[in-house]
Amino acid sequence: MKKSREAARQFEQLLEIMTCLRSPEGCPWDRSRSKEDIINYFLEETYEAVDALRSKTAEAAREELGDVLMEIVFLSLFYEEAGHFSMAEVIEGINRKMLDRHPHVFGRLKKASQADIVADWQSHKMKEKNRHSVLEGLPASTPSLLYAFLLGQRAATHGFDWPDAHQALKKVEEELDEFQLALQSGGKEEIAEELGDLLFSLSQVARLLGHNPEIVLRDANKKFEKRFRQMEREIKKKGKNLGNCSAEELDWAWEKIKEHKVKDSPSAKRPKNKKN
């Protein structure tokens, strides 16, 4: 309880700071921001928080979560200033939602399996928001690969899913065959459609393996970017640049970078007493 009281005190101070910054006596920059400006910052801070959380560095996670919280408070102030709702109402709403959606903890229902809990949660959401489909409510601005993951996740909670990742992989193989046939036909629209089906199927394999495909692809992007930059440096050592290298030279530099990664891997065998 002591930690909760301290967190409440610190949060109250954050509200006071942000309210002051938006006041006529506050910061000109903060006063001039629009909701659209802060939405952009909010998205940026959210992605930075995801990176920090996955880095397993507690200090980085603490800082980035604070940045996200600040943007949430900032956004709520726009609505409070317009007379729509306050930060207190935002918190009251999520508190009520948490209590209502956990009857097995805060209500009379005390025994429930995880499957029952998920089903009850989804049922509450459908009733609260007057939804007619289990797929309603997914954010339209979500990146497409993540959206595919969320679609599969939502459908799976209602029993529409593959038994396991191996079965889902068979669907990928099926979609790959169809994509190859589309490539042979040369129809641009058909190729695009089959490529989309292939990507969607791959996202479901990732989900069933316990991976978020958006995060997996972000990691792959970072790996490619790192290797490509290393390849550029390798080529520059030879007094050349990418523009005047042959395909064979680029392949050689790329393979050298990949080989170097294997040699530097922590799992690679090294003499135990050899000094660097």
Going by C-alpha positions, the residue among 116, 131, 143, 108 that lies closest to residue 218 is 143
pLDDT of amino acid 261: 62
User: Per-residue confidence at 111, pLDDT binned at 50, 70, 90?
Assistant: low
> What would the pLDDT profile of 23-73 be if each residue is shown by its tens digit?
999 999 999 999 999 999 998 999 899 889 988 799 999 999 999 999 999
56 Cβ contact list (under 8 Å, min separation 6): none
Domain parsing of the chain, residue ranges: 2-100, 144-211, 215-264
Average pLDDT over residues 140-153: 92
Q: Which residues of 240-268 are buried (b: 16+ CB within 10 A; e: fewer)?
A: eeeeebeeeeeeebeeebeeeeeeeeeee
Which residue blocks in 162-266 are alpha helix, DSSP H?
165-185, 188-208, 213-237, 247-264
Give 102 or 195, the one with higher predicted confidence: 195
> What would the pLDDT profile of 196-213 be if each residue is shown by its tens digit?
999 999 999 999 999 999
Other Cβ atoms less than 10 A from the Cβ of 239: the count is 6
**Distances in Å between the alpha carbon of 58 and those of 8, 79, 130, 212?**
21, 32, 40, 21
- pLDDT above 90 covers a percentage of the chain that reads 57
Q: Any idea what the Cα angle at residue 138 is, between residues 137 and 139, rounded to 5°?
A: 110
Asked whether the predicted pLDDT for residue 121 surpasses 90, the reply is no
CATH code for residues 144-211? 1.10.287.1080
- pLDDT above 70 covers a percentage of the chain that reads 92
Q: How far apart are CA 200 and CA 158, in angstroms?
A: 19
Pull the structure tokens for residue 249: 């030279």
Domains 2-100 and 144-211 share a fold: yes
Average pLDDT along the chain: 87
Give 114 or 174, the one with higher predicted confidence: 174
Contact yes or no for 64/45 (Cβ under 8 A): yes
Q: How far apart are CA 251 and CA 260, in angstroms?
A: 14
CATH topology of domain 2-100: Helix Hairpins (1.10.287)
Tell me the torsion sign for CA atoms 23, 27, 31, 33: negative
Contact yes or no for 245/275 (Cβ under 8 A): no
